Amino acid sequence: MRFRLLPLLAVALLAACGPAPREWPVARDLAAELPLCEVRRETEPTGPPRPPGPVDRNLAAGVTEGIALAGGARIDGYLEVTGKSAIGVEGISSRGGAPQIEILAQIEGGAEKVLARLAPGAKAGAWEIPGEGERLVRWTFRATGDATAWAIVRKPVLRSLDPLPRPAAPKLAARNPAPASRPNLLLFLIDTLRADRVGAYGSKRGLTPRIDALALQGVVFEQTTAASSWTRPSTATILTGLPPAVHGANRLDRRLPPGVRTLAEVLQEEGYRTGGFSANAHITEASGFAQGFDHFEFLDELARGEALDGRALAWLDESVSAPDRGPAPFFLYVHAIDPHAPYEPPEDLRRRFAGQIPSGSGSLAKVEEIYRALDRRRPEARDLVERMAPLYDAEIAGIDRSFGTLLDELERRGRLAETLVVVISDHGEEFGEHGGLGHGKTLYREVLDVPWIFRLPGQTAGRRIATPAAHGDVMPTILAALGISTAPGLRGVDRLAAETREGPRFSHLDYEGRQGGSVELGSWHLIQPWSRKFSRAGKLFELSDREETHDLAAENPVRAGYLRSLLRAEHFAERRRFAASAPIGAEEKKALEALGYL
């Protein structure tokens, strides 16, 4: 009798406190979350890393509204919940035997807890997730018994009395009907520039006085994450606002497809005269980056900033400022490559910043020798890598000087005051932090943290924005500043708008067999391998760990799993919509070889 009264007492208590968990509103369909989940047999060791693939919604034939698991298997999903939340099911059925289902939950920082054990024939119910307030939870369905039997969880859901509010959609900038009155735009991209080498980002090396002066008058985005760790996908994201998986220019044999709408095309349609000048062999007409430019030039792959300045100013004088041309704003895109390997700075700057390093030490032949030493794990490799860093610094000082010259010439022509100036980088560079040299091999922060500085016409008071940003935000922010409505389909937001909130920053790598992804959110950075050549295991770091030397994935399984689920969601949602193959031609091959890519 005592045991029969306990359920009645529980029901009475629940009725006094409010609705039972099974009556709480449905917040999520957990069966719909399957593509973001992790399915595994607990008796099997963890398999090799691989690109994420969709998990079948129905793991057993004929299951239409639930999750089916073979005995000995489990499925883990990750959710952000708030307030009172519960895992609910309509019931449990089986095929080929009588496996039981265990429902488990693990709150970030806590131990895994069994919420319920259900046998086939169990009726509808819901079991409250422990904890209070906003929290991360790993929910799990685990089937016990023989692997030939199937347990079917019918209509699994998350129920909640306090569902998380959905963020409001970003506001679009109003369209300005007078194109001639809009500001000009100078987008100056410095290839391979790490944020930590710029004075505005805390560097004491004195490499970037002209960029720093601009930052004092403009907007500094304190934390900007690159879309990839090499040029083609990152630059394509900057110029289209689309992630690499969408624009498709994410491999050596992929070009920017004609169907992608670029920043230059949008501005051209708005009456801008558009000119593009590149010294990187990835950013050429052959690779699709001339779209929307009235005039586009690829200079020699080793052309310095001074040469780019000269060609850009000549175009400005001939095509924009000529007396026979009517008034119109201009968009000038300059893609400078000075800091990129080979590291051969101007001699005066080598003496100033790398005087202890002999001239010629950063030649392509020397850099390739270092690559071979690293591949063969030769003991002298680390010292050789460290010798490149001062030469890299001197290269940065050189492009800063060239950038300053371009600003001076625009001011002399009376153009600077009416020009929006944007300085950004496509990716950073590694100098031994994780055992390598260069970029395009990893997704650590030394190759993902980039500077982004933005000075509006007439702006003289500096401003710093701490909310993290990403390459995908560049195009929406520029368009909003120019008074042009954001192009449809862009994932990024106007980072100058006060109401924008932090969102996950995704980065991807697909380069010569190295496939991986990363996501930064809050105080965390997850790096996930999708191929063995990239890495053998995922890693989780706190952003306060600047060197990313303390992997916390094992200590924080819920946080790591949640970030993996975000990476999967982004991967599936942004499955490549555009793709254009671009076989590498003889001239492009020669140019890429000169930069050490091939």
Domain positions in the chain:
23-160, 180-502+590-594
Closest Cα to residue 141, out of 159, 172, 121, 118? 118
Measured CA to CA, the distance from residue 463 to residue 143 in angstroms comes to: 55
| Dihedral-angle region of residue 50 (phi above 0 means left; psi in -120 to 50 means alpha; beta otherwise) | beta
Contacts of 271 (CB under 8 A, 6+ apart): 179, 180, 328, 329
Q: What is the pLDDT of residue 276?
A: 98
Query: Please, what is the Cα angle at 268 between 263 and 274, to 5 degrees?
Result: 85
CA distances in angstroms from 248 to 232, 255, 259, listed in the order given = 10, 7, 11
Tens of pLDDT, residue by residue over 182-217, are 999 999 999 999 999 999 999 999 999 999 999 999
Closest Cα to residue 69, out of 31, 105, 29? 31
- Cβ distance 241 to 248 under 8 Å? no
- Cβ distance 75 to 539 under 8 Å? no
Measured CA to CA, the distance from residue 325 to residue 318 in angstroms comes to: 9
Q: What is the pLDDT of residue 582?
A: 54
For domain 180-502+590-594, the CATH architecture is: 3-Layer(aba) Sandwich (3.40)
- Cβ distance 509 to 526 under 8 Å? no
Measured CA to CA, the distance from residue 388 to residue 362 in angstroms comes to: 6
Q: What is the CA radius of gyration of the chain?
A: 28
**pTM, full prediction:** 0.87
Q: Are strands 66-70 and 73-81 parallel, antiparallel or unpaired?
A: unpaired
Q: What is the pLDDT of residue 163?
A: 65
Low-confidence ranges of the chain (pLDDT < 70): 1-19, 42-65, 163-180, 301, 322-324, 326, 498-499, 573-598
DSSP state of 169: P
Q: What is the pLDDT of residue 146?
A: 82
CB atoms within 10 A of CB 541: 23
Q: What is the pLDDT of residue 500?
A: 72
Contacts of 62 (CB under 8 A, 6+ apart): none
Measured CA to CA, the distance from residue 414 to residue 464 in angstroms comes to: 27
Measured CA to CA, the distance from residue 128 to residue 121 in angstroms comes to: 21
Please tell me the CATH code under which domain 23-160 is placed: 2.60.120
Q: Which residue has the tokens 């601009």?
A: 214
Helices (H), 256-341: 263-269, 305-315
Torsion over CA: 459, 465, 470, 472 (sign): negative
Backbone dihedral angles phi then psi of residue 465, each to the nearest 5 degrees: -115, 115
CA distances in angstroms from 419 to 231, 271, 291, 297, listed in the order given = 26, 15, 22, 22
CA atoms within 13 A on the CB side of 203: 20
Helices (H), 84-223: 209-217
Helix (H) or strand (E) holding 386: helix 381-412
CA distances in angstroms from 206 to 213, 397, 455, listed in the order given = 12, 8, 21
Measured CA to CA, the distance from residue 373 to residue 385 in angstroms comes to: 10
3 state SS of 509:
strand
Q: What is the pLDDT of residue 13?
A: 40
For 176-329, where are the E strands, in sequence order? 184-190, 219-221, 224-225, 254-255, 273-278, 295-298
CA 17 to chain centre: 45
Q: Give exposure, 282-300, as e/b (b: 16+ Cβ within 10 Å).
A: bbbebbbbbbbbbbbbbbe
